Amino acid sequence: MSKLTLKAYAKINLGLDVVRRLENGYHEVKMVMQTVGIYDTLTFEKGDYGIVITTDSGELPTDENNLIYKAAKLLMEAYQVQGGVKIHLTKEIPIAAGMAGGSTDAAATFKGINELYQLGCSQQELMELGVRVGADVPYCIMGGTALAQGIGEVLTPLAVPPECLVLVAKPDINVSTKYVYEHLDATGVANHPDIDGMVEALARGDLQGIMDRMENVLETVTVEAHPIITTIKERMLELGAGRSLMSGSGPTVFGIFTDEKLAKKAYETLEQDGLAKQVFLTTFVQ
């Protein structure tokens, strides 16, 4: 095979809890991850030498600072790949948004190079290498609905949630994940989300039970810096969402809809009223 194209899907967090701060500065988390139908497209082509990245995004580095580069280098060195790779990224996932855009590109790179050079790595092997690029990369390799613990790399597949529509809105601000975790007082989290209850609701196929437990402890930090997040969350509820929440470290907000007409109307209204820079209407992807 000399060329292939892969989709790299974004995620949202249906629930996000921070259990404690670890001595190495990382945080122990407990999150329900869900893949959604917003994706970047990566094309992989064999090259003579080195890792060459091109992209249609004017905002991203194409050098060793791109997570695609880090993933490609790690895998190609680990398996002593002779030859190079050219990777083109078409960016659709909002950047620095709490949707794991960089991590999912890295995940697709592990899969793409594994296939391109027929390295024969199992998903488990790719996930073990992936965590060295980022805590969310193993989940992005696996995808679907999962409980993520540890620093995000201890994964348990969960029951698929009932079908619904997901309205996603990213305001015109970028949030650094590092900033949010550094400003979180992990010992002072008063109300921990009921993640176990959400896992049970998933097992029952109980969408209302899932929505009732949608909480994200990182909202306290990001919302304080960017109150527009609350404005968008409330707007989604006014427009008919069953529940709305910030994803990851933000600032992206998503709302769950069960009525397609309402969801489409909400999408159009949010597009027009200018609260968010990017708006998507999508579904869960498994």
The residue whose two tokens read 């809890």 is 17
Q: Mutual orientation of helices 123-130 and 67-78 as an angle, nearest 10°?
A: 120
Q: Which stretch binds ligand ATP (CB under 6 A): 64-72, 111-119, 203-211, 265-273?
A: 64-72
* Paired sense of beta strands 84-90 and 51-55, if any: parallel
Nearer to ligand ATP, 29 or 96 (CB): 96
We find the least distance from the C-beta atom of residue 277 to ligand ATP, in angstroms, to be: 14
Q: Which of 141, 172, 171 is nearest to 157 (CA)?
A: 141
We find the least distance from the C-beta atom of residue 209 to ligand ATP, in angstroms, to be: 25
User: Does 101 participate in binding ligand ATP (rule CB under 6 A)?
Assistant: yes
We find the least distance from the C-beta atom of residue 258 to ligand ATP, in angstroms, to be: 26
Query: Distance between CA 239 and CA 148 in Å, rounded?
Result: 31
First to last CA, the chain: 27
Q: What are the residues facing 90 on neighbouring strands?
A: 41
Secondary structure class of 280 (helix, strand, coil): strand
Q: Which of 11, 15, 10, 39 is nearest to 243 (CA)?
A: 15
User: Does 136 participate in binding ligand ATP (rule CB under 6 A)?
Assistant: yes
Active-site annotation holder among 105, 136, 170, 233:
136
Query: Distance between CA 149 and CA 30 in Å, rounded?
Result: 5
| Choice from 177, 216, 222, 244 touching ligand ATP (CB under 6 A) | 177
Residues 6+ apart with CB under 8 A from 152: 29, 31, 135, 136, 138, 139
Nearer to ligand ATP, 140 or 239 (CB): 140
| Choice from 19, 95, 228, 262 touching ligand ATP (CB under 6 A) | 95
For residue 190, the tally of other CB atoms under 10 A from its CB is 6
For residue 242, the tally of other CB atoms under 10 A from its CB is 18
We find the least distance from the C-beta atom of residue 248 to ligand ATP, in angstroms, to be: 4
Contact pattern from residue 19 through residue 58 relative to ligand ATP, giving x for each residue in contact according to CB under 6 A and a dash for the rest:
----------------------------------------
Verify whether residue 196 is a known catalytic residue: no
Q: Are 97 and 252 in contact (CB under 8 A)?
A: yes
| Choice from 15, 102, 171, 193 touching ligand ATP (CB under 6 A) | 102
Q: Residue 106 is encoded by which pair of tokens? A: 């890295």
In the window 236-265, what residues touch ligand ATP (CB under 6 A)? 248-249
> At 38, which helix (H) or strand (E)?
strand 27-47
Verify whether residue 63 is a known catalytic residue: no
Q: Which stretch binds ligand ATP (CB under 6 A): 96-104, 116-124, 164-172, 229-237?
A: 96-104
User: Does 60 participate in binding ligand ATP (rule CB under 6 A)?
Assistant: yes
User: Does 66 participate in binding ligand ATP (rule CB under 6 A)?
Assistant: yes
We find the least distance from the C-beta atom of residue 175 to ligand ATP, in angstroms, to be: 7
Q: Which stretch binds ligand ATP (CB under 6 A): 41-49, 90-98, 158-166, 253-261?
A: 90-98
User: What residues are labeled active site?
Assistant: 11, 136
Q: Contact residues for ligand ATP (CB under 6 A)? A: 60, 65-68, 95-103, 105, 136, 177, 248-249
